[in-house]
């Protein structure tokens, strides 16, 4: 048989094991010929069929098509969730909204997502990201269309709450990237996909005022024009939902439900998946940390256009353009955070990823304080751009680490972390931008202080095989021990942990430049792992 299944060659890979197979994959005579046992891929893959390179201009199946579908779905939901923000100066006159009403609507827009992201994490683990993402897009589309019918402050708050559920597509996006791309580039993949999706928060600051102006110039009254504009994001939901159902794929090997039926992938028990996530303290630390990176970005998306409109007396389209520069930084900023995370890991291992996150998020807090203190338009714009870049890069750096917290509970951990972002957004919006007690400038200043303080828990995160910001790795603990510890002895006897072991083998890059240690036998797990 040809010895052609060198790791990295296109098509040379092994399906996720389920305990029924031998521990060692068989060689394949001709990897160039697609077969059911050895699928052919255009990109080089690892032993889990995860791509080892990213080609952003490619739409090759399944890796790059999955990449583009995931970020476009998230982009669509960001556009719809924050579509009302740049039109608030018009909507508040039409519905007689007070500052408290606008603040409560902002809180509502990110609060519903807390629950939906938790659910989406479980859906990804049990049913796959394809169904979860597509159904959420289609189910939230009516809520977007309903925005054109609201006539009271209560209705405005309620509809923004329902549209906000769609932001759970972030979880499916990050889950998809984590099971599609190799651990050496997972930070870049997660950062770029989420960053391009988050860019919808900036794009909507341009799209909605432009749609409003075009419709208004056609002779439609202002109070009707803003309502008609909401039909565009509603149609985007329908189109993306259908595309994902028809073209999406859960894993490089195929859709999860089909793989379950074939026995190629073990169907885990939800209670055990959830337990692994909630009993891992790293999960909760990252829930907290993400609340003050994504959370403050979501808060900024809600308030920044109104802030520039009121403080510097800009026209509505101009305020929208200035506000858009904040969200549009996602086209590169979140990717930079992911790239920096991967680069730090190559040099310093997981400790490099942790230091990278702390530095970026702390800088974001400092620039947020400056934004609140700046008294001129040019300085405010500069401070806002620097704040946005650092905050968004910190988001990318966060999800350069999240895939390593738990392999068994990847979806639930991603969902909980994503929900933490929305908890932080709701809290920041409620504390600083709902009451008339604080001006917009004061709210931004205090939010910056909160970011710096709430980033300190990053110093507490320790991965036994790799260490923490200040402490080295635990002696005698390997990646295989760490990820196999999520499975019971009975499950290991059935071979159900083999997927985690393969992931562990591909995660040795998190050691950085230090020499790889000898593998420890899987049957002996050091205490405390």
The 3-state secondary structure of 424-440 reads HHHHHHHHHCCCCCCCH
**Cα-only R_g, the chain:** 23
Q: 51: helix, coil or strand? A: strand
Length of the chain: 529
Nearest 5°: the CA angle 168, 169, 172 is 110
Task: Identify the pLDDT of residue 265.
Answer: 65
* Cβ-based neighbours of 179, under 8 Å, separated by 6 or more: 48, 50, 250, 251, 252, 410
| Residue written as token pair 């809600």 | 302
Task: Identify the pLDDT of residue 1.
Answer: 39
pLDDT, block means (10 residues), the chain with 529 residues: 39 39 33 45 87 92 94 95 91 91 88 87 87 94 95 94 93 91 90 90 89 94 95 96 93 78 71 91 96 90 86 85 84 91 92 96 96 93 95 94 92 90 89 84 94 96 95 91 90 82 85 56 43
* Cβ-based neighbours of 290, under 8 Å, separated by 6 or more: 395, 398, 417, 418, 420, 421, 424
Task: Identify the pLDDT of residue 22.
Answer: 36
Q: 195: helix, coil or strand? A: helix
Lookup: tokens for 138: 């289609």
275-298 b/e (C-beta count within 10 Å ≥ 16 → b): ebbeebebbbbbbbbbbbbbbbbb
Q: 338: helix, coil or strand? A: helix
């Amino acid at each position: 048989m040809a010895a052609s299944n060198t790791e990295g060659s296109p098509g040379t890979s092994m399906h996720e094991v389920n305990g029924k197979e031998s521990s060692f994959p068989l060689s394949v005579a001709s990897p160039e010929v697609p077969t059911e046992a050895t699928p052919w891929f255009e990109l080089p893959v690892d032993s889990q069929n995860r791509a080892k390179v990213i080609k952003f201009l490619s739409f090759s199946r399944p890796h790059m098509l999955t990449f583009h579908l995931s970020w476009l779905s998230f982009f669509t939901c960001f556009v719809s969730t924050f579509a009302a923000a740049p039109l608030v100066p018009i909507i508040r006159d039409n519905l007689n909204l007070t500052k408290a009403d606008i603040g409560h609507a902002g809180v509502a827009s990110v609060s519903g997502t807390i629950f939906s992201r938790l659910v989406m994490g479980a859906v990804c683990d049990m049913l796959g990201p394809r169904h979860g993402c597509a159904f959420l897009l289609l189910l939230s589309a009516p809520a977007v269309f309903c925005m054109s019918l609201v006539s009271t402050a209560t209705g405005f708050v309620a509809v923004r709450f329902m549209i906000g559920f769609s932001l759970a597509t972030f979880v499916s996006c990050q889950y998809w990237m984590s099971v599609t791309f190799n651990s050496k580039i997972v930070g870049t993949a997660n950062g770029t996909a989420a960053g391009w999706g988050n860019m919808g928060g900036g794009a909507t600051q341009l799209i909605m005022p432009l749609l409003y102006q075009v419709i208004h110039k056609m002779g439609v009254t202002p109070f009707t024009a803003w309502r008609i504009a909401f039909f565009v994001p509603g149609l985007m939901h329908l189109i993306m939902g259908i595309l994902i159902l028809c073209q999406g794929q859960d894993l490089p090997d195929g859709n999860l439900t089909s793989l379950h039926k074939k026995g190629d992938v073990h169907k885990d028990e939800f209670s055990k998946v959830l337990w692994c996530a909630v009993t891992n303290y790293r999960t909760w630390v990252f829930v907290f940390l993400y609340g003050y990176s994504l959370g403050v970005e979501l808060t900024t998306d809600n308030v920044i256009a109104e802030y520039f409109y009121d403080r510097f007396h800009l026209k509505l389209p101009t305020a929208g353009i200035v506000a858009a520069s904040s969200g549009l930084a996602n086209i590169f900023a979140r990717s930079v955070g992911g790239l920096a995370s991967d680069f730090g890991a190559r040099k310093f291992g997981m400790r490099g990823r942790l230091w990278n996150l702390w530095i970026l998020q702390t800088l974001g807090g400092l620039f947020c304080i400056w934004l609140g203190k700046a008294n001129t338009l040019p300085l405010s714009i500069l401070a806002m751009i620097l704040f946005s870049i650092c905050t968004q890069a910190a988001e990318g750096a966060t999800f350069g680490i999240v895939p390593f917290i738990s392999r068994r509970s990847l979806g639930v951990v991603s969902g909980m972390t994503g929900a933490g972002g929305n908890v932080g957004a709701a809290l920041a919006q409620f504390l600083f931008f709902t009451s008339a007690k604080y001006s917009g400038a004061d709210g931004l200043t205090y939010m910056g202080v909160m970011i710096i303080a709430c980033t300190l828990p990053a110093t507490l995160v320790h991965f036994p095989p790799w260490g923490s910001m200040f402490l080295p790795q635990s002696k005698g603990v390997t990646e295989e021990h760490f990820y196999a510890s999520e499975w019971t002895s009975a499950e290991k006897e059935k071979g159900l942990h083999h997927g985690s072991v393969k992931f562990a083998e591909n995660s040795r890059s998190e050691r950085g430049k230090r020499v790889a240690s000898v593998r420890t036998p899987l049957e002996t797990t050091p205490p405390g792992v």
